[in-house]
Structure 1
Amino acid sequence: MMQRRTLATLLAASATLWLAAPAWAQTAAIEAPDALVKRLSTDILETIKADPELRNGNITRISQVVDTTVMPYVNFRRMTSAAVGPQWRQATPAQRERLQQEFKLMLIRTYAGALKQVSDQRIVVKPLRAAPGDTDVLVRTEVHGKGEPVQLDFRLENASGTGWKIYNLNVLGVWMVETYRTQFAQELNKGGIDGLINALSSRTIAADAKAGK
């Protein structure tokens, strides 16, 4: 179960992704959220299958793919601020940038090992339930492969009216942002914003050392 959850989270988090809904999309040029999730997840899976360096956990290559393929469709600032919680408002602009950077690096290293498990998985997008004019939606999907399908849901927003972006995901009933908020709260209570930044950095350093980098 943990392996399946890790793999599904990776697909979403590196995260982090056929039915268009132009009737309620704000403009014809904006890709519908379920179509975006289907396209993005298919592209990521095909890229992983075709690239041995990704499957072998090459962090530099994984970071390149995340930055070019995934991040343009993620509101990572909102994701990070929600994971940090109320203390985000107390952070300086420099601290907020560091939090986003360290959080992303930690996520990449946390799920890099799961890339080896990618084989014949595919994403099945469920019918979208949304009203015309909605700017915040839930896209429900399942990861199909060996074994039972894995629930993988995405929350997306189109607050600016320029396109949909992912800001949270749910694997087997567990929301990623809420999970990290609980973990981060312990570090924030001990050492504040700088304490959390140092803790995230330490996790990255430890992961690199374990991988022999």
Structure 2
Amino acid sequence: MKLLLAKFSALCLGLSFLVVGSAMAQESSPDAMIKRVTDEVLTIVRADRDIQNGNTKKAIDLVENKVLPYFNFQRMTALAVGRDWNKATPEQKKRLSDEFRTLLVRTYSNALTSYRNQTVSYKPFKGQDSDTDVIVKTEILQPGSKPVQLDYAVEKHSDGWKVYDVIVGGISLVTNYRDTFRQEVSTSGIDGLIQMLVTKNRQLESGKAADRK
């Protein structure tokens, strides 16, 4: 997990760009959608001094209201938990998804406040009109640093395209949690994994509360 968290600055910045209005449901092309909303969000973040100055609450509100409806958190959680997902009851699956969602929201929101003049390069999209599960490739360009490859795994639903994984530098966000989650389940069961996520989220919340004092 430490490896993953070390990459979150670039990763979550890219994810945070997926802020979108109601027009998203009408997008027929996932790459066009990501380009459009990325450009919109870059404009918003560049103009919002509160977010740039570390207003975590405002960043969380932004993510909660504009980003989350367009992610498939249950599939993301199932991929992260791996084969142990089938051991969970429906109630445990819901709790796992809720806690994993909270963890990602808080991480994304923190990354959003760290925006510093990054730009995005869009790679040629190779999907077909009939595809329902595709990869959209981009790069995050950072002044003074190497570009970071950031790819989105996107699936088509009845209400539009939804992201279910993000791959940064060739490493999947969700599957990079798998070893940690599997180890926790092997020692403490599904409830132990839930409690681990609860504890992590409380720690993140406490840290943000301390920062606001």
Q: TM-score, normalised by structure 1?
A: 0.82
**Partner residue in 2 for 1:195:** 192
The reply on whether 1:33 has 2:35 as its aligned counterpart is: no
Deviation at 1:161, TM superposition (A): 4.5
Cα distance in 2 between the residues matched to 1:123 and 1:114: 16
Match of 1:12 among 11, 14, 26: 14
Task: Please give the residue correspondences for 1:117-128 in structure 2 after superposition, counting only pairs within 5 Å.
Answer: 117-128=114-125
Match of 1:156 among 149, 154, 157: 154
Match of 1:136 among 133, 138, 160: 133
Task: Please give the residue correspondences for 1:99-114 in structure 2 after superposition, counting only pairs within 5 Å.
Answer: 99-114=96-111
Deviation at 1:156, TM superposition (A): 0.6
Deviation at 1:56, TM superposition (A): 4.2
Task: Please give the residue correspondences for 1:41-52 in structure 2 after superposition, counting only pairs within 5 Å.
Answer: 41-52=38-49
- What RMSD over aligned residues (CA atoms) do the two structures have, in Å? 2.6
Query: Is the Cα contact below 8 Å between 1:124 and 1:141 reproduced in 2?
Result: yes
Gaps of 5+ in 1: 18-28
**Partner residue in 1 for 2:170:** 173
Deviates more, 1:47-56 or 1:66-75: 47-56
Please state whether the residue corresponding to 2:35 is helix, strand or coil. helix
Gaps of 5+ in 2: 20-25
Percentage of matched positions with identical amino acids: 38
1:53-99 deviations in Å (ceiling 9; x for gaps): 43344443233212221112211111111111122223223222221
Query: Is the Cα contact below 8 Å between 1:144 and 1:150 reproduced in 2?
Result: yes
1:27-50 deviations in Å (ceiling 9; x for gaps): xx4431001111232333333333
Q: TM-score, normalised by structure 2?
A: 0.82
Deviation at 1:3, TM superposition (A): 9.5
